[in-house]
Structure 1
């Protein structure tokens, strides 16, 4: 039995590895229900089956019969592939694997944890090895929101409820004979700190120390020590220099940058000009993105530049601001001193609200005037760059919202290099703006300027090309 179990685990890893290198983004799922229950002859999966891989050679008629009679949820064009079972066995029972083979055993209660964002083939190997080791109940802890902030682009991580559902669907597809307990966790220990019935914990190569910490914690509570099973990481042969070398959710999130996360309002896509509201927090790189979009052919309206102009003597905002905040905000030349004004409003929420109430409608009016002017000059797509786009509720004037995000620590470092502000002053300004998570929730497309200009340009060009395809399709529909 142990040898058969090991053979299945090795075969599973091989298939998922091949799938990552050749079959992406196909959702491959290796089903193991009849491993423990050979009498089960029907398979009913959460998603329609598109391709079936047989472990031995059958005739076409035999394979068609199996697909039609045994698989209850198939797509219209379900196909099949065969592989040589004897060859797989020879490859996976070599001497170099003998230690793993000897160590392989079953446990009644197995536990593992992870983020499981956008379930990928590395996750599938991880979960499947836990299934193969388990004879009764598999407990899975899924990291909740307060454990995510240290992860790269954590704002793009799927909601915990979605991740739990995806893990549940996958596990029940792979082996419906086990009991599954899938729950959110708010610390690294999860159910291991309270469940005395657990026998083994599954960890990856990089989280082995976490398994040891779990046992140290259980020892303090006089609970049984868990056996630890370590799963090898799956290398990502398509990774770029700024990505991780393993198959990871972080890489998947990086590859979402510049992609449309949600579609714009379908009813408005024929309206022209097509307005993109470009926003982002302080020092997020939105001006760099705006410049790149301009170079690709977009018209550009910079609301920050409009505000600077409207603050000048004789312009619409000048008298309103001076009357409201007094002569002390003027410098010796009679201009509004933005540093003095900023010190007032960023330390007094009511004052900031009053300033915004005065200037936001005027800035938007001027911005839309410039949009119409650029459209008259022949620009079909116009980018309206506005740091306050979300909090000013200008999104309704745009077809789409594109946003730039960077970690707060990086924003602070960038601002300190270019402005004479203290870290505390910068943190105050970051706290009053929408969070990265709020920015992402409002956005159709997200950029991150954490890497080189070349990487940012790849994101911008991807978004621009996708927009061209979208508008072309919309014009024909």
Structure 2
């Protein structure tokens, strides 16, 4: 079974993915793969440097994600250019992992831009981790240390809550404390394993 998991930045999607992995799901994390394909020495990093310049590199030659973020999250054209470099490489790596998964696995694809890229039809079910924009903004500034301006730009660069909720088969409400996720994940896992082949 192929499950698409998404949620806006600061929604707690990664926490839900961790909890599903602990239950036995095979989680394929697009963000993690996106980091792998731009590590030093990769063609991905070379293309990014050629497109955005040396200013997006740290002194050790690794990608300065914050510097790149300041460029692309305020300019839709530059974001599109970055996605054109990274997305095909992520797609190829995801396909490799998918091919290696057991036939009876519940595979959860942790895809931040699932709604933005109209990927819902690729999955048997789409799970959206939902939190209000004000909650997400607070998490980004207090937990991740972003400035309010950077946090607002990141939120604005993604799909709206309404767009994500419109593609959801299942919604996980993560406006409260992390402990509130436990019963929701237990119920979700029961539902997934009950219908899995």
TM-score of the two chains, using structure 2 as the length reference: 0.93
1:251-287: CA deviations, max 9, x gaps?
xxxxxxxxxxxxxxxxxxxxxxx11110000110111
The aligned counterpart of 2:22 is 295
- Name the one with the larger strand percent: 1
Aligned equivalents of 1:459, 1:383: Cα separation in 2 = 16
Deviation at 1:379, TM superposition (A): 5.4
Q: 2:182 pairs with 444, 449, 457, which one?
A: 457
Does residue 419 of structure 1 match 2:165? no
The aligned counterpart of 1:393 is 118
Q: Find the residue that maps to 1:368 and give its secondary structure.
A: helix
The higher-RCO structure (CA 8 Å, 6+ apart) is 2
1:131-176: CA deviations, max 9, x gaps?
xxxxxxxxxxxxxxxxxxxxxxxxxxxxxxxxxxxxxxxxxxxxxx
Q: 2:154 pairs with 423, 429, 442, which one?
A: 429
Deviation at 1:368, TM superposition (A): 2.2
Q: Find the residue that maps to 2:80 and give its secondary structure.
A: helix
Q: Is the Cα contact below 8 Å between 1:284 and 1:406 reproduced in 2?
A: yes
The aligned counterpart of 1:192 is none
The aligned counterpart of 1:215 is none
In the TM superposition, what are the counterparts of 1:236-255 in structure 2 within 5 Å?
Answer: none
Deviation at 1:468, TM superposition (A): 2.3
- CA RMSD of superposed structures (Å): 1.6
Q: Is the Cα contact below 8 Å between 1:301 and 1:384 reproduced in 2?
A: yes
In structure 1, stretches of 5+ residues that fail to align are: 1-273
Aligned equivalents of 2:31, 2:151: Cα separation in 1 = 18
The aligned counterpart of 1:343 is 70
Q: Find the residue that maps to 1:446 and give its secondary structure.
A: strand
Aligned equivalents of 1:387, 1:462: Cα separation in 2 = 23
Aligned equivalents of 1:331, 1:468: Cα separation in 2 = 44
Does residue 368 of structure 1 match 2:102? no
In the TM superposition, what are the counterparts of 1:126-205 in structure 2 within 5 Å?
Answer: none
The aligned counterpart of 1:355 is 82
Deviation at 1:418, TM superposition (A): 2.5
In the TM superposition, what are the counterparts of 1:37-56 in structure 2 within 5 Å?
Answer: none
Aligned equivalents of 1:332, 1:452: Cα separation in 2 = 38
1:414-455: CA deviations, max 9, x gaps?
011133321122111111211111111011100011223332
Q: Is the Cα contact below 8 Å between 1:360 and 1:392 reproduced in 2?
A: no
Q: Find the residue that maps to 2:116 and give its secondary structure.
A: coil
Aligned equivalents of 1:420, 1:461: Cα separation in 2 = 31
The aligned counterpart of 1:89 is none
Deviation at 1:404, TM superposition (A): 0.6
The aligned counterpart of 1:319 is 46
Q: Is the Cα contact below 8 Å between 1:401 and 1:442 reproduced in 2?
A: yes
Q: Is the Cα contact below 8 Å between 1:316 and 1:362 reproduced in 2?
A: no
Aligned equivalents of 1:451, 1:369: Cα separation in 2 = 36
The aligned counterpart of 1:305 is 32
Q: Find the residue that maps to 1:401 and give its secondary structure.
A: strand
Aligned equivalents of 1:354, 1:305: Cα separation in 2 = 20
